[in-house]
Amino acid sequence: MENDNKAKQKAMDLAEDARQTEWKFPSFTAELFRGAFRWDLMHPYPVQDPEDKKIGDEYLDKLRGVLKNHCDPIKIDKTGVYPKETLRALAEAGAFGMKIPKEYGGLGLSQTNYSRALSLIGSYCQSTVTWVSAHQSIGVPQPLKMYGTKEQKQKYLPRLAKGDISAFALTEPDVGSDPAKMSTTATPSEDGSYYLLNGDKLWCTNGPDADVLVVMAKTPPVVVNGKERTQITAFIVEKEMPGFEIVQRCSFMGLKGLSNGLLRFTNVRVPKENVIGKPGEGLRIALATLNTGRLGIPAASTACGKLSLQYAEKWVNERVQWGVPIGKHQAIAKKIANMAADTFAMDAIVWIACAFADKENADIRLEAAIAKYFCTETAWRLLDDYLQVSGGRGYETAESLAIRGDDPVPVERMLRDSRVARIFEGSSEIMHLIIAREALDTHFKLVMPIMMPPKGAKESKFSLIKKAAAFYLTWYPKQWLPSGQSFNVKHLSTTNQDHLAYVDRTCRKMARTIFHQMAKLQKKMEYEQILLGNFVDIGVDLFAMSACLAYAESFLAKDSANQGPQELADLFCKNARVRIGENFRRVKDNHNKTFNKVAKSLMEGKYRWLLTDIYQDFPEGYAPGDYVPADHENAAVK
């Protein structure tokens, strides 16, 4: 147990060191968790610059043509083969260089236009969006843009913009969510001119067909303040480097056209010039890459939500049961109304997060994590709701529907394809942890050094207590007082203005409740994941409400006759207020200890008596080789 805690602490220390802390533009959500509703950061809702919008519109038209003429999502799903011809057409249209600056031969799109492109591609073929996104949201271009040297950029970015494929290799068979514990090593040569890379990387998207990969590996530890610090370093690895091997191509429940596999590095000699950033900065680089990188997924998820809504609108009108269109039965009406309101919320969140990301050095860690968490979870629920309102047809494949002449709605494929979005690039549970960590930042910084003084700390406990007391003496009373803030909204209805005032007062209630719980639980608070989850979900809903209200106001400012945004914002906010109320209740009145108790018993095998009348083993004859996936024959585009 003691060893468990030490290992946990070590991993957390490393993740902590890797957090970026310097920002020019503050985070709306971080302020919210501190009890400050910074409406000024969200309103007026950022409108895309007309020049930038024109660039995006033209590019999306081009992409539409490429998808229509060169990409067949049904065939890709059926065969599991991603055609070289499609990759070539995408590369020729610049789809692999969307995020690469123009000076290096890319399109230099803004985050907003890039996400618009991913939304379009994701609504058409999710295997395709994964190729394109893994290449540049997290693959080599992103860390090179942020941390690469001029030489590295000149050497790699033009190739990658033209269609050389890249990949991001962090996960290993034994480490996923906790990459700090990785076992891949990079041992420096005696003269320091190269490193020898050894280890396995699992589920690397694009990996089996990548020309260039960014690989994270452990380099020798260094001693800081008397404490040994694990060093993780980011390397550019080329597929031609001897010792690089594709061990397995993996196949999945969805995303059948994905190129993904288990990669092995055996004494791969990587020149020191291929280190991205400085040695030891690898985890920071990986986390920073994922911060903006994970904005691509919510754009594609929102697109799936929009498609579900479009299909639902048609179906609930067409399908008549018990003499009326099914959309008129209240149980279905509630589902489709929520689908519309939730789609509006996803849209509001994605585009504001992209607008924040387009600002220089803006702190978007929380907004990106919220966008990823909210949109992937919500899109999944929407797809499931659409499947439910479709009845039996929702469970049928698009090809089978087409044979009878029914609309070939691919919801079955979309569900299979989109499930993994809640897992990769940081699972929903990890998004919760990231949001919780940032939410508690103020208190952590002030209180933790008092409770757990770091080794070699220079400041005395007394001075730390004085500092914390000075902060809390002014901060805490403010959390009980009205903010006195007035909101310059001209078009929102009184109901929506009331929602705005609710966000304003509730963020202070959230901040003081967090403070009370911290005071009560102290160091134990960081292990209370269910409780922290309640706070995270309150914060996420307050952020989403704010985004919806600002988004609605921006639509109304353009066209006050269209009351749609008003209605959708109102429904979303009403639902969110119910969830927030429930989350506050659960902070005080919960059965979290019972969850712990039952989970512990399960882990100890105490419920095996329940497992009767089931087939206990894998079916006879299950052996590797019987289930070899189709050979993708994917090759990099030249």
Q: Should residue 168 be labelled a site residue for ligand FAD when binding is judged by CB under 6 A?
A: yes
Give the x/- contact pattern for ligand FAD in 31-60, rule: CB under 6 A.
------------------------------
- The answer to whether residue 620 is catalytic is no
- 214 vs 357, which CB is nearer to ligand FAD? 214
Decide: is 158 part of the binding site for ligand FAD (CB under 6 A).
no
In the complex, the smallest distance separating the C-beta of residue 174 from ligand FAD, rounded to whole angstroms, is: 8
Least distance from C-beta 187 to ligand FAD, angstroms? 21
**18 vs 204 by CB, closer to ligand FAD:** 204
Going by DSSP bridges, is the β-strand pair 244-249/227-238 parallel, antiparallel, or unpaired?
A: unpaired
Residue 77, token pair as written in the block: 């799903």
Among 288, 299, 379, 430, binds ligand FAD (CB under 6 A): 430
Among 364, 382, 420, 435, binds ligand FAD (CB under 6 A): 420
Nearer to ligand FAD, 295 or 507 (CB): 295
Q: Counting contacts by CB under 6 A, is residue 427 touching ligand FAD?
A: yes
Burial of 388 (0-12, 13-18, 19+ CB in 10 A): middle
Scored b (16 or more CB within 10 A) or e, 61-91 reads eebeebbeebbbbeebbeebebbeebbebbb
CB 130 within 8 A of CB 300: no
Pick from 104, 84, 80: nearest CA to 94: 104
Q: Structure tokens of 448?
A: 């933790």
171 lies in the site for ligand FAD, by CB under 6 A: yes
* Burial category of 389 from C-beta neighbours within 10 Å (exposed 0-12, middle 13-18, buried 19 and up): buried
To the nearest whole angstrom, how small is the minimum distance from the Cβ of residue 126 to ligand FAD?
11
Q: Which is nearer to ligand FAD, 56 or 257 (CB)?
A: 257
| Residue among 255 and 503 whose Cβ is closer to ligand FAD | 255
Is 177 among the residues that bind ligand FAD (CB under 6 A)? yes
Smaller CB separation from ligand FAD, 56 or 254: 254
What is the Cα–Cα distance from 139 to 572, expressed in whole angstroms? 35
177 versus 266: smaller Cβ distance to ligand FAD? 177
Identify residues 342-401 at the interface with ligand FAD (CB under 6 A).
Answer: none
**Closest distance to ligand FAD from the beta carbon of 170 (Å):** 3
List the one residue from 273, 429, 498, 559 that touches ligand FAD (CB under 6 A). 429
Q: How far is the CB of 426 from ligand FAD (least distance, A)?
A: 6
Amino acid identity for residue 300 in this structure: A
66 or 165, CB closer to ligand FAD?
A: 165
Give me the least distance between CB of 216 and ligand FAD, in Å please.
Answer: 8
CB of 252 to ligand FAD, least distance (A): 5
Q: What distances in angstroms separate CA 471 from CA 37, 437, 446, 584, one per listed residue?
A: 19, 20, 9, 25
Contact 183, 175 (CB under 8 A): yes
Query: Could you say which residues in the range 132-151 bind ligand FAD, by CB under 6 A?
Result: 134
Around 43, how many Cα atoms within 13 Å sit in the side-chain half-sphere?
25
Q: Is the peptide bond before 83 cis (omega within 30 degrees of 0)?
A: no
Task: Report if residue 297 touches ligand FAD, rule: CB under 6 A.
Answer: no
Active-site position among 172, 281, 425, 438:
425
C-alpha separations of 230 from 16, 56, 120, 219, 245 in Å: 12, 43, 41, 8, 26
Specify the 3-state DSSP secondary structure of 182. coil
- Say whether residue 290 binds ligand FAD (CB under 6 A): no
Judge contact between 144 and 171, C-beta under 8 A.
no
Query: How large is the angle between the packed helices 461-478 and 441-451, nearest 10 degrees?
Result: 150
| Joined tokens for residue 220 | 């020798």
Say if residues 161 and 97 touch (Cβ distance below 8 Å): yes
**Sign of the torsion angle spanned by Cα atoms 471, 477, 480, 482:** negative
Residue 165 within binding range of ligand FAD, rule CB under 6 A: no
Strand partners, 223: 228
Residue nearest to ligand FAD (CB): 176
> How far from 352 is each of 156, 225, 369, 545, 553, CA to CA, in Å?
31, 41, 13, 12, 13
Q: Which is nearer to ligand FAD, 60 or 423 (CB)?
A: 423
Does 260 bind ligand FAD (CB under 6 A)? Our answer is: yes
CA pair distance 553, 44, nearest whole angstrom = 8
Which two three-digit tokens encode residue 114? 């890039």
193-232: which residues touch ligand FAD (CB under 6 A)?
203-205
Which of 36, 100, 170, 547 is in the footprint of ligand FAD by CB under 6 A? 170
Q: Does 292 interact with ligand FAD (rule: CB under 6 A)?
A: no
Give the footprint of ligand FAD on residues 67-96 (CB under 6 A). Answer: none
Q: How far is the CB of 106 from ligand FAD (least distance, A)?
A: 20
Q: For ligand FAD, which stretch binds (CB under 6 A), given 22-30, 111-119, 419-427, 627-635?
A: 419-427
Give yes or no for residue 169 binding ligand FAD (CB under 6 A).
Answer: yes
**33/438 Cα distance (integer angstroms):** 9
Give φ, ψ of 76 to 5 degrees. -60, -45
532 belongs to the binding site for ligand FAD (CB under 6 A):
no
291 is an interface residue for ligand FAD by CB under 6 A = no
Nearer to ligand FAD, 134 or 285 (CB): 134
CB of 64 to ligand FAD, least distance (A): 26
How many chain residues touch ligand FAD (CB under 6 A)? 23
Tell the smallest beta-carbon distance from residue 179 to ligand FAD (Å): 8
**Beta strands 166-169 and 212-224: pairing type?**
parallel
Write out the residues near ligand FAD by the rule CB under 6 A.
Answer: 134, 167-171, 176-177, 203-205, 252, 255, 260, 420, 423-425, 427, 429-430, 433, 529
Q: Catalytic site residues?
A: 425
